[in-house]
Amino acid sequence: MKCTHLLAVFIVLIAACNEGQHLESKNGFAVVVPAKPGEAVATYAGGCFWAMQECLVELKGVNKVISGYAGGTTANPSYEQVVSGKTGHAESVQVYYDPKVISFERLTAAFFNSHDPKQVNRQGPDVGTDYRSIAFYRSKAEEIIIRSKISELDSLNGYVTPVATEVTAFKIFFPAETHHQDYYRRNSWDYYIRNVSRPKVLKLRKTMPELIKSEYKD
């Protein structure tokens, strides 16, 4: 099952949202604004971005999470192009966070707890390279943290099913169409959200309660 969306006309953002920018919506248009001073940026791919965006935005220290596309070769891809598997992109999220509140290490741990990193080119009912797991790094220190976490997970799993997450240097992130932003919150009635996305969100709340903002705790 692919992430489906309502049949409506929206404006597709054609400018890339690179490191150091936020995404906002105004009158149906996607607009980028500068990041706040002191923010750090991280990018991950872990299946449908509807759930991943919600999982990570609920973390203490996370100010903003943008849904989009990364890891491919096509500039400014549309959702339809990405899910075709021809652009090389994966549904991704770009996270703007306060490193004084949550470290890259803890943020990455939350990422791994927000999906099943052992699945290859899929997450549950969503199948395809656009749903593959990727942890992007912006420095050697971040790469070391990611690889260390993968080794830890493999060790805990007894190396029976190794982590399939790609570890890739960050290059560029393209924001998804405006109707994909904050989709989880705006469409709680959606069958996919209720049956596929919500269990992922609840799982993270349960496994890492110390990182969840108070307003999201039961």
Active-site positions? 48
How many Å apart are CA 105 and CA 142, to the nearest integer?
Answer: 8
- Reported as type and span, the H/E element at residue 153 is helix 140-156
User: What is the 8-class DSSP label of residue 178?
Assistant: G
DSSP string, 62-116: EEEEEEEEESSSSSS--HHHHHTT-S--EEEEEEEE-TTTS-HHHHHHHHHHTS-
Q: How many CB atoms lie within 10 A of CB 101?
A: 13
| Cα dihedral 4→191→54→79 (10° resolution) | 0
Joined together, the tokens standing for residue 9 give 């006309």
